[in-house]
Amino acid sequence: MTVTTRAENVGIRAIDVYFPSRYVDQTELEQHDGVSAGKYTIGLGQSKMAFCDDREDISSACMTAVQNFMEKYNVSYSDIGRLEVGTETIIDKSKSTKTVLMKLFEESGNFNVEGIDTTNACYGGTSALFNACQWVDSSAWDGRLALVVAGDIAVYSKGAARPSGGMGIACILVGPNAPLALEFPLRGTFMEHIYDFYKPDMSSEFPTVDGPLSVTSYVRAVDHAYAAYLEKLEKIEGIANPSLNDLDYVVFHSPYTKQVVKGFARLAYNDFMRSPESSQFADVQQFKDVEREESYTNKVLEKAFINVSKTTFAAKTEPTLLAARNIGNMYTGSVFFGLASLLSQVSFDQLDGKRIALFSYGSGCAASVYSFRVRADTSAIAQTIDLATRLDSRTKVSPAEFEAIMDLREKTHNAQEYEPTGSVETLFPGTFYLQKIDSMWRRAYGRTPLN
């Protein structure tokens, strides 16, 4: 029997992201919706929002992400032993998106591929990543690589939540000797039962959202997951009184970037509660006796810690927000688009040897803080993602056209015997698209030419 050597430095070997070719400008959307100037651009911290019409669904988008990844990085489908999809965009209550992706493996003849879909709001991608890394790190590993696909089509009904939508898919290659090595077992997790954001209506792709509760739930999850992570740092790494100072960069799940600002400020608040005597907190001593539960809705406290952490935020987290600000929410893919942004915005010279912490949050709720250590050159990854150039290559669509496309998606959701009306000409080269849905809801796909 052949024994596979235990893997070392297991983590992310490569990453790429897919987002649609069209977007709506948030400033123009403010004007179109008749809301006050800055409501979306300042209040949410968003500049542009990606979207798709009836030509793309979750399966086509994931196929685009995977096939483009395999071509860009010249990876063989024969080398993949596990593929797991994290998504909450469901078009079938039984058949997984992963099984659709197996269509891409047909030519290689490789059908021995573990993994299916994993679902809990925006946390599914993180769970899929954990599963993939743990597979490579376990005695079950057969020496092959793993793919993690994480992303969603985030759409909302007309109203205040619609500008916080978006669309994007991340494709991640997991294996040994990775440039981004997952720090086993530095991980803090928090889970509880709460109805902040959920999708009980199977006839609609829109969620049911309790906005204020969702914001509070996010912040509470930051508190608990961060505390659990710091406890691991203290026990395993032997770091006395660990804090933000021990994290070089911090990537957050971003429903909208203003929430990330608040999330980072919450890390500073937690450091303050652990070491209130620290000189960096001289200006916020008045909050020392505020009860934690009260702190979740105390806007004066929130603003104070945003100000206290402003300089640190600019260094550790601002570089992670390029995609989120210009694409919107990608649900399960959001935190990985943040990681892709960081790799694109910060050179390897600055990243070398650094610790990158991630906060992943999914409503309902499930959350984790975990970290990677940069062990090898990330320059090729940044060049392959080519994020800024690709974002600039998109086409702007008017708010009126965007609204008409959202209406079309709503009317055709769960359609049967349907041929999409969206133009294939608007798609990026190499994009998979929906050709038709037959009388048994079976979907057929095509792909736009690469050139």
Single-letter amino acid, residue 111: F
Alpha-carbon span 427 to 60, nearest angstrom = 12
Q: Please pick, among 52, 62, 122, 133, the residue that the annotation labels catalytic.
A: 122
CA torsion through residues 171, 175, 177, 182, sign: positive
CA torsion through residues 88, 93, 98, 104, sign: negative
88 is catalytic: yes
Which residue in the block uniquely carries the two structure tokens 């400033």?
27
The answer to whether 164 and 329 are in contact (CB under 8 A) is: yes
Alpha-carbon span 241 to 238, nearest angstrom = 9
Q: Please pick, among 253, 302, 318, 365, the residue that the annotation labels catalytic.
A: 253
- Please classify residue 43 by burial: count the beta carbons closer than 10 Å to its beta carbon, then call 0-12 exposed, 13-18 middle and 19+ buried: middle
Closest CA to 157 of 435, 357, 411: 411
133 is catalytic: no
Q: Which helix (H) or strand (E) holds 249?
A: strand 249-252
Closest CA to 13 of 396, 268, 301, 384: 384
Q: Give me the helix-helix angle, 299-308 and 257-274, nearest 10°.
A: 90
Sheet holding 48-50, edge to edge: 48-50, 22-25, 395-397
Distances (CA, A) of 194 to 198, 213, 362: 9, 9, 11
Q: What is the DSSP string of 98-154?
A: HHHHGGGGGGGT----B--EE-BTBTHHHHHHHHHHHHHTSTT--S-EEEEEEEEEE
The answer to whether 267 and 374 are in contact (CB under 8 A) is: no
Instruction: Provide the strand spans (E) within 364-437.
Output: 366-374, 395-397, 432-437
The answer to whether 228 and 221 are in contact (CB under 8 A) is: no
Alpha-carbon span 134 to 206, nearest angstrom = 33
Distances (CA, A) of 388 to 48, 72, 273, 323, 343: 13, 17, 38, 9, 12
**Token reading at 154:** 């985030």
Closest CA to 126 of 88, 178, 179, 167: 88
Q: Please pick, among 30, 84, 88, 318, the residue that the annotation labels catalytic.
A: 88
122 is catalytic: yes
Which residues are marked as active site?
Answer: 88, 122, 253
